[in-house]
Amino acid sequence: MKGVILAGGSGTRLNPLTRITNKHLLPIYDRPMVTYAIEALVKADVTELMLVTGGTHAGEFLRLLGNGHEYGIGRLLYAYQERPGGIAEALALAERFVGGDRVVVVLADNILERSIAGPVRSFQRQPHGARILLSAVDDPAHLRHLGVPALDSDGRVTKILEKPDDPPSHYAVTGIYFYDERVFEVVSTLEPSSRGELEITDVNNWYVERAQMEYDVLDGFWGDAGESIDAYYAVNDFVRLHGANKG
């Protein structure tokens, strides 16, 4: 299985911190944010990685990470997204790297308390399809700013809604996705959304519609450090006190 870390975007929600750097290079407690995504994958034995980024600070990732060996990476490649075109468009840049393998995609501003080794193993046993990681969120107002799955009486995902006015469950879709080898075919069929981007939710719903979407509910803390300034500092505080990616 290959790993793809998405570390692009303009980071406007963390302005003015992101006027001078990519948000994924900002510190979370005592090291750059992007290193937590790397650590999550390496601890789950996913060590062939591609980092996708863009903007004027892309070269700083190479200066930070180099060949990746210092971080336990076996092979590290880089790709450059020329303009913010959505998560799915960024993933498409990794097609040749992934080849015919399966892939786990991590948005680099997602910080987890616990290891993802269990979900990685579960996806490796899954015969085909996709897998997402969910996190319980008790605040409906917060859910209205996130992707939220609708579940049937058997607990199967029936649809994923982006920023729903009336959240159909109390789970959020985190920025960690698992896909089989068909994902790039799916991305190639997408039309831009009203935002002018290729949406990862459309990819996920393609698998949902074919009853090929599985999920795990995360134990412990999940935070999106790029969601807002308040979220950024909340994630910092949690990691400082409790750590991240624990086995």
> Tens of pLDDT along 17-29?
999 999 999 999 9
What average pLDDT score do residues 41-59 get? 96
Helices (H), the chain: 34-43, 59-65, 87-92, 95-98, 117-125, 140-143, 183-188, 200-209, 229-242
- 75 pairs with which residues across the strands? 48
pLDDT at residue 11 tops 90: no
Helices (H), 126-216: 140-143, 183-188, 200-209
Phi-psi region of 218 (alpha: psi -120 to 50; beta: other; left: phi over 0): beta
Q: Which pLDDT score, from 0 to 100, does residue 10 have?
A: 78
24 exposure class (CB count in 10 Å sphere: 0-12, 13-18, 19+): buried
How many domains is the chain partitioned into structurally?
1
Q: Per-residue b/e over 224-235, b at no fewer than 16 CB within 10 Å? A: bbbbeeebbebb
* DSSP conformation letters of 5-66: EE--S--GGGTTGGGSS-GGGSEETTEETHHHHHHHHHHTT--EEEEEEESTTTHHHHHHHT
Tell me whether residue 212 is in a domain.
Answer: no
As a whole-number percent, the residues of the chain with pLDDT over 90 amount to: 94
Supply 76's token pair.
């590290």
Q: Which pLDDT score, from 0 to 100, does residue 83 have?
A: 84
Residues 6+ apart with CB under 8 A from 56: none
- In this prediction, residue 118 has a pLDDT band, given cuts at 50, 70 and 90, of very high
Tell me whether residue 137 is in a domain.
Answer: no
- In this prediction, residue 141 has a pLDDT band, given cuts at 50, 70 and 90, of very high
Tell me whether residue 149 is in a domain.
Answer: no
Cβ distance 73 to 47 under 8 Å? yes
Say whether 200 sits in a helix, a strand or coil: helix
Tell me whether residue 9 is in a domain.
Answer: yes
For residue 45, the one-letter residue type is D
Tell me whether residue 140 is in a domain.
Answer: no
Tell me whether residue 36 is in a domain.
Answer: yes
CATH value at residue 22: 3.90.550.10
pTM of the model: 0.96
Tell me whether residue 146 is in a domain.
Answer: no
Q: How far apart are CA 244 and CA 113, in angstroms?
A: 4
Q: How far apart are CA 72 and CA 43, in angstroms?
A: 9
What average pLDDT score do residues 51-65 get? 96
Domain that holds residue 13: 2-132+174-198+221-242
Tell me whether residue 38 is in a domain.
Answer: yes
